[in-house]
Amino acid sequence: MFGMNKSFSITDALREEQEMSLARKLGIVAKLSMPGILAQIAEILMQYIDAAMVGGLGAEASASIGVVASTTWLFGSLNSACVAGFSVQVAHAIGAGDDKRARSIFRQSLIVTTCMALVLLGIGMAVGQVLPQWLGADPAIHDNARKYFMIYSMFLPVRTWFNLMGQMLQRSGNMKIPSILTTLMCLLDVVFNYFLIFPTRQVVLPFGTVMMPGAGMGVLGAQLGTSLSFAVCAACLAYYAVIRSDRLALIHEKASWMPRREVLSEAVRIGVPMAFEQSALSLAQVVQTKIVAPLGTIALAANSFAVTAESICYMPGYGISSAATTLVGQSFGARRRDLAESFAWLTTFVGIAVMSLTGIVMYFICPAVFAFLTPVKEVQELGVKVLRIELFAEPMFAASIVATGSLRGAGDTFVPGILNLVSIWGVRITLAWLLTKTMGLPGAWIAMAAELNFRGILFLIRMKRGKWLDRMDA
C-alpha cells in the first residue's frame, strides 16, 4: 500500500483503519520523508562540489555568485509560491478521493505558472544589468555577477516546470520519482560544471595523464551547468507527471485547460500571501547582502560559503516539510482534523531531531568543510567563526521550516506570512544593521541566530493554538 511505486493517499490508509497507532504514523512520516531528505542531501553535496569548483577560481569568483544569490532566491520563491497555490489544492483533491479534480487543477497550473515564469524572465533580464552595482558589490566582480544572473533568468521557465512537476508528484504521494530526479540533477550539474567552468587541461589519472576538454567559462559556466541539469530533469519529471502518474496523468483524458475562477481564487488565497512573504523574506536577504557587501570580498565570500555549509543542516528539514505538506494536505482533504494535527506535530518533532543532530555534527566538522570549499585561509577562518554562531539556532529553525510545511498543507499561508515578516524584518535586519557596524560579519550571523530562534517559537505557538485547522469545519 505504501510503496513508492504508487502514489500514497491518506484516504487509502483511512479505508484500512479508522484509528492509526503512533508507530503507524511514524512509519508513514518516515516513508514520505526519507526520499525528500536523501534528495536534499544530494542537492547540498552538489552545492558543496559546485562551491569548491568555483572556490578554486578565487575569492572574487565566489563573491560574484554570493552577491546575487539572495536575488535568485527571491525569483525562485515567487515561482514556488505560484506553484504551491495549485499543488496544495491537488493534495486536498487527492485526499478527498477526487482524482479528476486533481488533474483539472494540474492542467490549469501548467498554464498559469508558465505565464508567471515568463514575466519573471523579463524582469530578470531587465534588472540583471544593474543588479551587482545596486547591491554595492566591488566593481571587480560586477561583470561575472551580471552574467551569472542573466543566465539564471533565461532558464526560469525550466526551473518553474521542474518545481511544478516535482511538487505535483509529491502532493499526490509520489516522493520517489522527484527524489531520484533531484539526485540525478545534482550529478548532472557536477558533470556539466566540470566541463564548462574549467578550460581544457591535463588531468592526472591512475592510468596516466589525459587531456580533459573544457569550455573555460568560469563563473558563467557554473550557472549554465546548473541550468542545463534543471532542463534535463524537468523533462523527465514532466514525463512522469503528465504520462506515467497513476493519479495525475493527463494524456488519457480530454478536458479544458482554461483556468477556472474557483481554482484561481483558491490559488490566489494560498499563493499570494506566500508570494508576499517570500518576496519580503528574499528582499530582506538582499538587504542583508547589501549590509555585508561593504565589509569586503573576504567577508562576502565567507558569508556565501557559510550559507552553503549550513545548508546541509537545514535542507533535510525541507524534505520533511514537503512530506508534512502532503500528509496534512491529504488529511485536510479527507476531513480528518485529528490526523492533520497529529501529522503536523510528528513531522515537526522529527524535523527538530534531525536538524539538531546535523547542527551538532556540523559544529565539529565545519573547519574541514570550509577547507574543502575554499583554499583561502582568511575565508575559511571567518566562515567557521560565523557558522558556529548560527548552529545553535538549528532546532528552532527546524520548527519554523516544518511547521510552515504543515500549515501550508492546510492552506494556512496568510498568518505564517505575517509571522515570518515580523521576525525577519523586525529582528534579523534590525539587529544585523546595528551589530555589523561594530562586529563585522559575526554581527550579521548573531542577528540571524537570534531571529531563527524567535521565528521557531512563533510557529510553535501558531501550531499549538490550532486555528489553522478551522477552515476544515467550514
The per-residue DSSP string of 248-308 comes to: T--TT-----S--HHHHHHHHHHHHHHHHHHHHHHHHHHHHHHHHGGG-HHHHHHHHHHHH
Tell whether pTM > 0.75.
yes
Q: What is the DSSP letter of 96?
A: T
Q: Which of 41, 39, 303, 54 is nearest to 179 (CA)?
A: 39
What are the pLDDT digits (tens) for 229-258? 999 999 999 999 999 998 899 987 888 888
Name the band, by pLDDT with cuts 50, 70 and 90, for residue 5: very low
Distance CA 100, CA 430 (A): 48
Selected residue with higher pLDDT from 2 and 434: 434
Selected residue with higher pLDDT from 467 and 48: 467
Helix/strand/coil (H, E, C) string of 183-244? HHHHHHHHHHHHHHHCEEEEEEECCEEEEEEEECCCHHHHHHHHHHHHHHHHHHHHHHHHHH
Name the band, by pLDDT with cuts 50, 70 and 90, for residue 4: very low
Q: Which of 295, 162, 291, 289 is nearest to 234 (CA)?
A: 162
The pLDDT of residue 11 is above 60: no
**What average pLDDT does the chain have?**
86
The pLDDT of residue 164 is above 90: yes
For residue 285, what pLDDT is reported? Answer: 72
Selected residue with higher pLDDT from 63 and 40: 63
Q: Which of 116, 126, 8 is nearest to 71 (CA)?
A: 126
For residue 7, what pLDDT is reported? Answer: 52
The pLDDT of residue 455 is above 50: yes
Distance CA 171, CA 48 (A): 29
For residue 2, what pLDDT is reported? Answer: 37
Looking at the DSSP bridge assignments, the partners of residue 292 are: none
Distance CA 383, CA 457 (A): 27
The CA angle 363-68-186, to the nearest 5 degrees, is: 60
Selected residue with higher pLDDT from 16 and 74: 74
DSSP per-residue string spanning 373-411: H-S-HHHHHHHHHHHHHHGGGHHHHHHHHHHHHHHHHTT
Looking at the DSSP bridge assignments, the partners of residue 199 are: 215
In this structure, of 110-114, 337-341, 450-454, the range with the lowest mean pLDDT score is: 337-341
For residue 9, what pLDDT is reported? Answer: 52
Mean pLDDT, residues 323-337 taken together: 87
Distance CA 29, CA 36 (A): 11
Quick check: 357 and 37 in contact, CB under 8 A?
Answer: no
Which of 182-191, 251-260, 444-453 is the most confident on average? 444-453
The pLDDT of residue 52 is above 70: yes
Q: How far is CA 375 from CA 189, 300, 309, 363, in A?
A: 22, 15, 15, 20
Distance CA 279, CA 267 (A): 17
Name the band, by pLDDT with cuts 50, 70 and 90, for residue 131: confident
Read off the C-alpha cell for 408.
Answer: 501550508
Mean pLDDT, residues 71-82 taken together: 83
Distance CA 26, CA 6 (A): 19
Q: How far apart are the two ends of the chain, measured CA to CA in Å?
A: 31
Quick check: 10 and 155 in contact, CB under 8 A?
Answer: no
What are the pLDDT digits (tens) for 207-226? 778 888 888 888 888 889 98
For residue 3, what pLDDT is reported? Answer: 40
In this structure, of 14-18, 146-150, 311-315, the range with the lowest mean pLDDT score is: 14-18
For residue 28, what pLDDT is reported? Answer: 80
For residue 271, what pLDDT is reported? Answer: 87
Mean pLDDT, residues 182-199 taken together: 88
Which of 3-17, 159-173, 297-311 is the most confident on average? 159-173
What are the pLDDT digits (tens) for 383-420? 999 999 999 999 999 999 999 999 998 888 889 989 98
